[in-house]
Amino acid sequence: MDRERNGMVEGRRHQRGRFILIIAALAALSAVVFVWGISTSQYDIGFLEAYRVLMDRITGVPLDGTYDSWMKDYVVVELNIPRLVGGLAIGIVLAVSGAIMQSVIKNPLADPYTTGISSGALLGVSIYIAMGISLVPGLSGDSAQMMNAFLFSLIPTAAIVAITVMKRNITPTMMILVGIGVMYLFSAVSSMVRYQADPDAAHEIFTWTLGTLGRVSWDNMWILVAVSAFILAFGIAVSKTLNALTAGDNLARCLGVNVRVFRTACLVAVAAATGIVVSFSGTIGFVGLICPHIARILVGSNNRYVIPCSALMGAVMLMFTDSVAKIIVTSGLPVGAITALIGSPIFVYLLIRQKKNIW
Amino acid sequence: MNIEIDDLSFSYPEVNVFHDVTIEMNRPELYGILGPNGVGKSTLIHCMNRILEPSGGTVLIDGEDVGGYRLKDLAKKLGYVPCVSSDAFPMTVVDTVLIGRHPHSDWRVTKQDYDIVYDTIHAMGLDDLAMRPFNELSAGQKQKVMLARGLVQQPSAILLDEPTANLDIRHQYGVTKMLKRITRERNMLVVMVCHDLNIASRYCDRIILMSEGTVYCVGTPQEVITESNIRHVYGVECRVIDNGGCPHVIVCDDGLDDMPEAGPAASYEAETVPGIHKAVARS
């Protein structure tokens, strides 16, 4: 075998090893953030103390009856753990969905909300909070709000899929434009609803748009875990076909990919997963847009690496910023804002510093 | 490998691109499709590999209608090298070439897939570029990488849409010579859309000359590249001289000032015409 060929084989092996190392490091980092996040709160709970509280709960040691011990037990076990699990799962869903959307739509500005999912969800939430209308009869409170958000979030994607079926030669750009059209329509209706609503309701709607992990609890976090497992498995399963798609629709078709069916399948999977996430958390922007790009800076554009790397980036980013949010903001709410606040400068820095010409 | 195109036609809602195209290609040779801008050369190729649905007629590959193939099965028979590359999220050269293995493998990439990719990259002398991002390559290197991607697909025939566009003379001749070699070494039928009459006449075994939305004539370069054919098809006066057994076209630029209107489908193809400009010589 020739020397040049060996060099090439070695080069790829070396690169592969480096990428796996980067992904392993990110996995380790997310574990560290998770471990750290259990103790973070606006209350005075030490790192080791948090684990003592957790161990007491697991081993069934009864509380000593003081308010202080009750409060610490509640914060660590009932608040922090579900929020961390929620951050992990929602981060994975948003980042993987973003990576899939960017490849499928071939647009670096695409994110999980590109097709109008967030505006749909916002309208669902708005009509429940301001007018008390629940799409699923008999529901009330958070569950009614979440159900409304989920069902409305699917409408824009359903519109795009319907148009794809009717008009066979729809391009990705047209998909984005349809999404934007629907988004403006829904936003306009939401604004009108909010304008008519009383100030308290309007404020509540506004709070929802900021994004929070506060609604995640032991009871419902399993849904998020299941959704994140699904979208991660889906993303890894389609990564090879996503690679084929980067060579252009025509070539992908000549390689045996039914591009229209594949694109629609990806769109539906992302919409369903993101719709569920949005109904829990409200619109958390940034993660879905940025994590895939940071992943590409780290491991290149091969989707086999981009998907897992994005997933871990999203998990780390959301768990970390929510933990920071818990410490610095008394109400602990706007994780969406803090994510962008911390993430944007890091992202711009990485973008300017990197030498490769990825976009 | 046997490609039979029978009475094929294609039209967009507003325009008729080509009609009554009947060609048979049945030997592992280099076929060149020539003709003026907008005559439907690329569209013809797209109808052969199902990127477009023809409006009428049939394309048979090994006796079976292309429409009856599963896309993956067709991909194992017919490779495609597009004219321009998409630069959305470019990968390394190895990963880009590896895409060509898609029809042969499921989710897993096997050692055999990688071996084929390495061997092909090596055979084309691209080893040094293997780990470079595709978008950082020169036009000639990109063309070779796209050709490598088509070859690792291991089809029996490969269709190329203007493989020499945007290349300098050396690469134009180099790439076309490589195509000719492939037909012999790999027993592969190669069809290329080409604009350079002299390159086509030098390397193609057979030339399909298209004019006014249909096939004008098919034959060896000696049969097709003649002064009268070129005058009729391109509206260009020229002299055809013998260059070591191949016809060589020298264009006379008299009357080139009043260019004829572009063909009906000209707007669908942004084509460059390197061949004509290069061969212009004042006589």
With a pLDDT cut of 70, the percent of chain B lying above it is 89
B-chain residues near A12 (CB < 8 A) = 92, 94, 114, 130-131
Q: What is residue A358's predicted lDDT score, i.e. its pLDDT?
A: 55
Q: Name the B residues in 113-142 with CB < 8 Å from any A CB.
A: 114, 118-119, 121-122, 127-128, 130-131, 133, 135-136
Q: Is there a contact between A8 and B127 if contact means CB atoms under 8 Å apart? A: yes
Structure tokens at A74: 């509640």
Q: Is B51 on the interface with A (CB under 8 A)?
A: yes
Q: Cβ of B91 and A9 within 8 Å?
A: no
Structure tokens at A133: 């209308």
- A233 found inside a domain: yes
* Inter-chain contacts counted by CB atoms under 8 A, chains A and B: 118
Residues 88-117, chain B, touching A (beta carbon < 8 A) = 88-92, 94-96, 98-100, 102-103, 107, 109, 114
Q: Which residues of B touch A5 (CB under 8 A)?
A: 118-119, 122, 127
Whether residues A254 and B72 touch (CB distance < 8 A) is answered with: no
The CATH number of the domain where A185 resides is what?
1.10.3470.10
Residue A97 maps to a domain: yes
Q: Do B92 and A15 touch (CB under 8 A)?
A: yes
| Phi and psi torsions of B159, nearest 5° | -110, 130
Query: Taking a C-beta distance cutoff of 8 angstroms, is the pair B97, B145 a contact?
Result: yes
C-alpha dist (Å) from residue A275 to A83, A249, A339: 19, 27, 20
Looking only at the bridges linking them, the beta strands covering B56-61 and B64-65 are: antiparallel
Nearest to B127 among A7, A258, A359 (CB): A7
pLDDT at A42 over 90: no
The residue of B43, B72, B89 whose CB has the most chain A CBs within 10 angstroms, and thus the best one to mutate to test that interface, is: B89
Contact B103 A7 (CB under 8 A): no
| Range from A343-347, B29-33, B126-130, B277-281 carrying the lowest mean pLDDT | B277-281
Mean pLDDT of B102-114: 90
| Residue A2 domain flag | no
Per the document, the length of chain B is: 283
User: What does R_g of chain B's alpha carbons equal in angstroms?
Assistant: 19
**Per-residue pLDDT band at A62 (split at 50, 70, 90):** confident
| Any domain includes A239 | yes
* Chain A positions in Cβ-Cβ contact with residue B80 (cut-off 8 Å): 250-251, 254
Confirm whether A5 is domain-assigned: no
| Whether A237 and B128 lie within 8 Å, measured CB to CB | no
Mean pLDDT of chain B: 87
Q: How large is the average pLDDT for residues A44-62?
A: 87
Residue A316 contacts residue A33 (beta carbons within 8 Å): yes
Q: Where are the beta strands (DSSP E) in A235-280?
A: none
Residue with tokens 């998770």: A34
Range with the lowest mean pLDDT among A98-102, A106-110, A349-353? A349-353
Full DSSP string of B1-48: --EEEEEEEEE-SS-EEEEEEEEEE-SSSEEEEE--TTSSHHHHHHHH
Task: State how far the Cα of B187 lies from the Cα of A59, in Å rounded to an integer.
Answer: 73
**Residue A212 pLDDT class (50, 70, 90 cuts):** confident
CB contact under 8 A, B74 and A256: yes
| pLDDT reading at A314 higher than 90 | yes
Q: Give the model confidence (pLDDT) of B164-206 as tens digits.
A: 888 889 989 999 999 999 999 999 999 999 999 999 999 999 9
- Of B82, B98, B133, nearest to A251 by CB-CB distance is B82
How close is the nearest chain B Cα to the Cα of A359, in Å?
6
pLDDT band at A180 (very low <50, low <70, confident <90, very high): confident
**For residue B274, what pLDDT is reported?**
40
pLDDT for residue B5 is more than 80: yes
DSSP A115-159: TSHHHHHHHHHHHHHHH---SSTT--HHHHHHHHHHHHHHHHHHH
Q: Is pLDDT of A38 > 70?
A: yes
Q: Which residue from B minimizes the CA distance to A105?
A: B88
The residue of A242, A254, A299 whose CB has the most chain B CBs within 10 angstroms, and thus the best one to mutate to test that interface, is A254
Question: Contacts of residue A106 in chain B, CB cutoff 8 Å?
Answer: 86, 88-89
Q: Could you tell me if A319 and A263 are in contact, meaning their C-beta atoms sit under 8 angstroms apart?
A: no
Query: Residue B280: what pLDDT?
Result: 39
Q: Out of B19-28, B158-167, B168-177, B267-276, pick the least confident.
A: B267-276
Number of domains in chain A: 1
CA B236 distance to own-chain centroid: 23
Q: Do A15 and B46 touch (CB under 8 A)?
A: no
Q: How far is A14 from chain B (nearest CA, A)?
A: 10
Q: Indicate whether A3 belongs to any domain.
A: no
CA angle B50, B54, B55 (to 5 degrees): 155
Residue A203 forms contact with B (CB below 8 Å): no
Strand partners, A145: none
Distance CA A170, CA B136 (A): 30
CA dist., res. B7 & res. B13, Å (int):
19
Q: Sheet containing B64-65: which strands, arranged edge to edge?
A: B16-25, B3-11, B56-61, B64-65
Return the bridge partners of B9, or none: B56
Distance CA A149, CA A145 (A): 6
CA distance A110 to A113: 8
A358 located within any domain: no
Cα A32 to Cα A29, A316, A323: the distances in Å are 5, 9, 12
How far is the alpha carbon of B248 from chain A, nearest alpha carbon, in Å? 34
Q: With an 8 Å Cβ cutoff, is A16 touching chain B?
A: no
Q: Is the pLDDT of residue A334 over 90?
A: no
Mean pLDDT in chain A?
Answer: 88
Q: Select from A4, A15, A250 the Cβ nearest to the Cβ of B51.
A: A250
CA B29 and chain centroid, separation: 13
Is A102 exposed, middle or buried (CB count within 10 Å of its CB: 0-12, 13-18, 19+)? buried
pLDDT for res A329: 67
Interface of B with A in 21-50 (CB under 8 A): 46, 49-50
C-alpha span between A180 and A171 (Å, rounded): 14
Asked whether A82 and A217 are in contact (CB, 8 A), the reply is: yes
Identify the residue with better confidence: A327 or B61: B61
CB B94 within 8 A of CB B145: no
Q: What is the C-alpha to C-alpha distance for residues B193 and B207, in angstroms, rounded to an integer?
A: 10
Q: Is A7 on the interface with B (CB under 8 A)?
A: yes
CA dihedral for A211, A213, A215, A219, sign (positive or negative)? positive
Q: In 3D, which of B31, B37, B46, B3 has the Cα closest to residue B165?
A: B37
Which range, A152-156, B116-120, B263-267, is most confident? B116-120
Residue (of A90, A149, A147, A100) closest to A284 by Cα position: A90
Q: What is the mean pLDDT of residues A93-113?
A: 91
* Model pLDDT, residue B281: 36
CA B118, B122, B128, B134 torsion: positive or negative? Answer: negative
What's the pLDDT tens digit per position in A223-250? Answer: 999 999 999 999 999 999 999 998 888 8
Residues 6+ apart with CB under 8 A from A230: A269, A273
Select from B88, B97, B100 the least CA-distant residue to A256: B100
Q: Which is more confidently placed, A353 or B282?
A: A353
Identify the closest residue of chain A to B105 by CA–CA distance. Answer: A240
Contact B18, B10 (CB under 8 A): yes
| Tens of pLDDT, residues A106-137 | 888 888 888 888 889 999 989 998 888 888 88
**CA torsion angle for B93, A261, A91, A331 (degrees, to 10)?**
140
Structure pTM? 0.88
Is the Cβ pair B88, A4 closer than 8 Å? no
Residue of B73, B52, B53, B51 lying closest to B61 (CA atoms):
B73
Distance CA A308, CA A27 (A): 10
- Beta strand B30-34 with B189-193 is parallel
Q: Which of A139-148, A163-172, B250-259 has the lowest mean pLDDT?
A: B250-259
Q: Given this model, what pLDDT does residue B181 score?
A: 93
Q: What is the pLDDT of residue A355?
A: 64
Distance from CA of B243 to the nearest CA of A (A): 37
More confident residue, A337 or A199: A199
pLDDT (mean) for B17-42: 93
In which domain, by residue range, is A38 found?
Answer: 10-353
Flag whether A207 is in a domain.
Answer: yes
- pLDDT > 90? residue B95: yes
